[in-house]
Amino acid sequence: MTDLVWGIYRELAHSPGRETDDAKILAKTAAELTALGLPVALKTPEEALAASEAPPPFVFGMCERLGILERLQAWEDDGTVVVNAPSGVLNTYRDRTVACFERDAVPYPRTVLVPTSGPAAFEGPCWVKRADVHCTEPGDVVFADGDAAVHGALGGLLRRGIERAALQEHVPGDLIKFYGVGEEWFVWFYHRGQEVAGHAFDAASLARAARLAARSLGLDVWGGDAIAAPDGRLVVIDLNAWPSFALYRDEAAARIAAHLHARFTAARAPARRAAAGAER
């Protein structure tokens, strides 16, 4: 019999320096969800792709590569409830994020998409970022203070077979990291490794901007980075699907499990009513 819920780990290549933290938050969430009455089987993306049995009714996962996301999308199309939705995870690819954030007026730095093979210029300092997945190795995100640095960073991506890049405006200020689960839970803290200037900002506005960004991409479990600028402006610079929640693992796992339990049990109710009606 197919397990009721599958949890799918993130690909190791997508967890640079966070392999243990990513695995721990998924396992902790699985334990919390099992304690709530929904037993979980944990799988690697490779195991999920190779599975010959029917897909489970419910899946949650941290996986990000196209092959497993396509499989999850097919399962979702057939009725499996998947969190985060495959479409939401795909929307975290930067070439999709830009369009989503522009559509929904998410406060986001000026960002342009360019081919890595051609000349590109950007007015002012910028960050050169690969246009698909988030940082997986050195060179995926590079600060450039002029055209020569932009061209050098683009050339490095091109040599690795990465065809597109995002040039994103550099916004000076304090770097903030944040985590969220649905509309129910939000927490922020200053990113380590910086000298915090303590620029004043409205924490409620930060929460609203982060939640708007998550809704724009279609994510239930999310995290990202923002800048608090000297003038009080807040901008979201990155949004990720299901981060490691390392500093808040225990609380986050309980919050995520509660959210998943609500989503999954709500989806089970119509099926149970339909089955009861068919038996009459």
CATH T-level fold of 174-241: D-amino Acid Aminotransferase; Chain A, domain 1 (3.30.470)
Per-residue pLDDT of 194-233, as tens digits, reads: 999 999 999 999 999 999 999 999 999 999 999 999 999 9
Residue of 235, 238, 222, 242 lying closest to 105 (CA atoms): 235
CA–CA gap between residue 235 and residue 176 (Å, rounded): 10
In this prediction, residues 38-47 reach a mean pLDDT of: 96
Tell me if the domain spanning 110-169 has CATH number 3.30.1490: yes
What are 87-143's pLDDT values in tens digits? Answer: 999 999 999 999 999 999 999 999 999 999 988 888 999 999 999 887 777 889 999
In the chain, what are the domain boundaries?
5-84+247-279, 110-169, 174-241
- Tell me the CA distances in angstroms from 245 to 24, 41, 222, 248, one per residue in order: 10, 21, 9, 5
Task: Categorize the per-residue pLDDT at 276 as very low, low, confident or very high, splitting at 50, 70 and 90.
Answer: very low
**Length of the chain in terms of residues written:** 280
Phi, psi angle pair for 189, to nearest 5°: -160, 160
Residues 6+ apart with CB under 8 A from 219: 84, 85, 88, 89, 91, 92, 239, 241
**Which band of pLDDT confidence, cut at 50, 70 and 90, is reported for residue 17?**
low
Q: b/e map of 119-158 (b: 16 or more CB within 10 Å)?
A: ebebeeebbbbbbbbbebeeebbbebeeeebbbebbebbb
pLDDT of residue 2: 53
Can you tell me whether residue 167 is helix, strand or coil? Answer: strand
Question: 5-84+247-279 and 174-241 share one CATH topology?
Answer: no
Q: What is the CATH topology of the domain spanning 5-84+247-279?
A: Rossmann fold (3.40.50)
For residues 29 and 232, the model is more confident at 29
Whole-angstrom distance, CA of residue 76 vs CA of residue 67: 14
Q: How far apart are CA 65 and CA 67, in angstroms?
A: 6
Answer yes or no: are the C-beta atoms of 239 and 97 closer than 8 Å: yes
